[in-house]
């Protein structure tokens, strides 16, 4: 039987309408799914971000808690800077358990308080001979006797400035050897150091009062090196860091050209800490 054309058209239109409805339905589901997926992705991203912040905060808290505040401050304050030379040390401990024995140069070192950890047995005008008979500044016993009242790990000797005018260098050498032997007797466990005589200014050297000149000082220092070797002591050439280009004490080191100011006492102290 032949179907009229109008029914065919109606059928085609019906089929097309049904197909459109199906497509719209699928499109709506797809849109909802896309929206849902997008929402889930956004929620997940936010959660991940919150989680990341929480972890980061926790790590910061743990890091801060596990590092002492003093260390954190120190680390934050570290900056690259040129190395500076310290004129006067501030940290104690370099010569803990040490005794410094000698003349007015040593007394000046004590007065400037650049080695607060050390003990001092010193007196103006003290020599290798009078150290057995005269007391230290503020003391009640002769220097050598007082030195034996306490045990030390190091004993640093500074003599010679007041002996430059002696007529015999051999007499100085023998007297110093006697003093070193006594130190080893009363301080058997200590290391003994013999320090060089410090230079004087050019002006003092030229005046040459009681043969106090830098040429004479060099002669005596050569004897001290020999004595240290003979006695098994350590020779400390502190004079090497106190000389200008001409081998003299710099003009800004001491008002009288002999006794060091605080800046140069600090340089001396730094040398001792480094080599003892």
> Sheet containing 191-195: which strands, arranged edge to edge?
119-122, 98-102, 154-158, 191-195, 234-236
Q: Give residue 168's pLDDT.
A: 95
Number of Cβ atoms within 10 Å of the Cβ of 268 = 26
Q: Give residue 94's pLDDT.
A: 79
Quick one: which of 204, 194, 177, 201 has its CA closest to 237?
194
Q: Give residue 16's pLDDT.
A: 40
CATH number for the domain formed by residue range(s) 98-275: 3.40.50.1110
Q: Which two tokens stand for residue 150?
A: 């306490």
**Residue 245 CA to its chain's centroid (Å):** 28
- Spell out the domain ranges in the chain: 5-76, 98-275
Q: Give residue 63's pLDDT.
A: 33
Q: Give residue 42's pLDDT.
A: 36
Cα dihedral sign, 25-29-30-32: positive
Q: Give residue 40's pLDDT.
A: 40
Q: Are 205 and 178 in contact (CB under 8 A)?
A: no
**Residue 85 CA to its chain's centroid (Å):** 11
Phi, psi of 119, deg, nearest 5: -105, 150
pTM of the model: 0.67
What would the DSSP string read from start to end of 129-155? Answer: TGGGTSBPTT-SSBHHHHHTTS--SEE
Q: Per residue of the chain (276 residues), what is the pLDDT tens digit?
A: 444 444 333 343 333 443 333 333 343 343 333 334 333 433 343 333 333 333 333 333 333 333 333 333 333 333 333 332 333 343 445 799 999 999 999 999 999 999 999 999 999 999 999 999 999 989 999 999 999 999 999 999 999 999 999 999 999 999 999 999 999 999 999 999 999 999 999 999 999 999 999 999 999 999 999 999 999 999 999 999 999 999 999 999 999 999 999 999 999 999 999 999
Alpha helices, DSSP H only, in 91-213? 104-111, 143-147, 169-186, 202-207
């Amino acid at each position: 039987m032949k179907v009229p054309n109008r029914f065919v058209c109606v059928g085609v239109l019906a089929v097309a309408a049904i197909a459109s409805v199906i497509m719209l339905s699928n499109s709506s589901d797809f849109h909802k799914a896309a929206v849902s997926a997008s929402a889930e992705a956004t929620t997940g991203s936010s959660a991940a971000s919150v989680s990341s912040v929480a972890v980061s905060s926790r790590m910061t808290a743990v890091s801060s808690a596990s590092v002492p505040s003093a260390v954190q401050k120190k680390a934050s304050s570290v900056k690259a800077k040129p190395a500076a030379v310290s004129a006067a040390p501030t940290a104690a401990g370099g010569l803990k358990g040490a005794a410094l024995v000698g003349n007015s140069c040593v007394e000046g070192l004590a007065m400037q308080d650049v080695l607060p950890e050390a003990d001092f047995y010193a007196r103006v005008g003290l020599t290798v001979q009078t150290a057995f008979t005269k007391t230290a500044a503020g003391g009640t016993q002769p220097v050598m006797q007082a030195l034996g009242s306490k045990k030390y790990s190091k004993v640093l000797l500074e003599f010679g400035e007041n002996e430059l005018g002696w007529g015999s260098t051999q007499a100085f050498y023998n007297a110093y050897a006697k003093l070193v032997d006594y130190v080893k007797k009363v301080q058997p466990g200590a290391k003994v150091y013999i320090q060089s005589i410090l230079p004087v200014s050019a002006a003092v050297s030229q005046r040459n009062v009681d043969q106090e000149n830098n040429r004479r000082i060099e002669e005596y220092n050569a004897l001290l090196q020999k004595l240290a070797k003979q006695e098994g002591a350590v020779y400390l050439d502190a004079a090497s860091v106190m000389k200008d280009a001409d081998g003299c004490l710099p003009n800004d080191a001491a008002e009288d050209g002999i006794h060091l100011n605080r800046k140069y006492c600090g340089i001396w102290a730094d040398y001792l800490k480094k080599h003892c």
